Chains A and B, each alone.
Chain A
Amino acid sequence: MNYFKIIFLGGLLTMFSCNNNTEKKTETLADNTVAKVSENSIISENDKISDLSIYNLPSQWTSQDGNTIKMEDLKGKVLAMVMIYTSCKAACPRLVADMRNIEKQIPEDKKDDVEYVFVSIDPKTDTPERLKAFAKENKMEDEKWLFLRGTKEDTREFAAVLAVNYKQISPMDFSHSNIISVFNQKGEMVNQQEGLGVDNKETVQTIIDLAR
């Protein structure tokens, strides 16, 4: 009997969650209208979100300052992104050093166009307070250093977008790939460097070429 109840509830849920479709349809319609309107103005091309952009992600994130942001809010900046966790003793401090090293090599007049984003793979431990403290410890309190935490599911999804793999291997430790990804102002991935303390020439050059 319980078994049937589960199925029945499942049925209800389905009807509920799939009924969003009518809503989605109107959304699409609304989008089209917007597109049509903007075709008439000059901004159209720059305003469209491309198929490859991380701005397509609907997930919401909390920053070290407790602000809620979506990836789309970072629009217009060149992004250097990495996934870490603050209690990590081995690879992450080196990844943080790599990011700092990259930042140092960007010319003064281009520095404002770049945002350095750290996404936590351990959202349970890495509360905004913790991220804030981590930023302070690492002297990354300037606006260009952004530390984000999301839900477990959204973090897994974001890792899939970045092709970063990670796994919790004990209550305190994660295995994870060490990848720094660069995104252009449209949110499209243009470069990835993998490994620790690797030659970052290409990453730096990519950022310099993109930044204005």
Chain B
Amino acid sequence: MGFLAIASVAMAQNQEMTLVKKGKYTPLYGRDSVQVKVMSFLLDTIPVTKGKFLEFVKKNPKWQKSQVKTIFADDHYLSDWKDDTHLNPEAKQNEPVTNVSWFVAKDYCKCQGKRLPTIDEWEYAAMADKTTPDARKKESYNQYILDWYERPKIPHQQVGSTFKNYWGVYDLHGLVWEWTADFNSVMITSESRSGGQNKNLFCSAAAVGATDLMNYAAFMRYAFRSSVRGNYDVNNLGFRCAKDIKN
């Protein structure tokens, strides 16, 4: 009982995580377009909030917007904040933090004893709808995602406001886009789809192609990942953290 009490204190300080159980899936762009094995891992149930991120920058002045180095975050970094340690008056603590770079997202997770999820982990967890771990074949699932992609960002939408998926994870679709650890592993140019002429850009370029052209929504995410750089700060791009399971 005493242990549980301590555990709940720790929980109050930390973002709740949920277990995503291991499995296989075929990613849009995979190793030779084969199935990828994803090991069991823990994932934050919600994206990192502005409130949590504020606590973080207060403790880590090097990540405050007047202090941050351009190589790690461009000039859109936290551009919607009032100043170094204050949110905009209209902003809520429970909104997902956005306008954050990959470098800061990575450091935030590290500071929590966590890490960013890999693309494979993120995509694997995000295949789930409310009731099934892999809903990609369902028309309703894809339509929901594409409808969201077409909709402009709703200001001040809070975390946990979209559906809770099979694994107990909220907001993978419908709130903000999210950074992944290996966002810069996406190799997309025209030839990824057409096997076209630009092959001299990549080693083994022909080996990388779309394995699931139907999955337009996933293609959008991969295209987005390939279009950003590590120090970019985008107003609909946030993040959440993941963690290995240690025995």
Contacts and interface: CB of A to CB of B under 8 A. Distances in A.
Contacts of A62: none
B201 A14 contact: no
A24 B62 contact: yes
Interface of A is mostly: helix
A194 B113 contact: no
Contact of B13 (A14, A164, A166, A178): A14
Interface stretch (B3-11, B85-93, B137-145, B146-154): B3-11
B112 interface: yes
Contacts of A16: 113
A78 interface: no
Contacts of B3: 4, 8
Contacts of A169: 31-32, 204, 207-208
Contacts, number: 148
A13 interface: yes
Contact of A8 (B10, B102, B103, B184): B10
Interface residues of A, number: 51
Given A28-B61, A167-B185, A194 B201 contact: yes
Interface of B: 3-4, 6-7, 9-11, 13-14, 16-17, 19, 29, 31-32, 42, 59-62, 69-72, 102-103, 106, 110-114, 181-182, 184-187, 200-205, 207-208, 226, 229-231, 243, 245-246
28 contacts: A6-B245, A6-B246, A7-B7, A7-B11, A10-B17, A11-B7, A12-B113, A14-B112, A14-B113, A17-B111, A24-B60, A24-B62, A91-B200, A91-B202, A156-B181, A160-B103, A166-B187, A167-B185, A167-B186, A169-B204, A169-B207, A170-B31, A170-B32, A175-B202, A175-B203, A178-B202, A194-B201, A197-B200
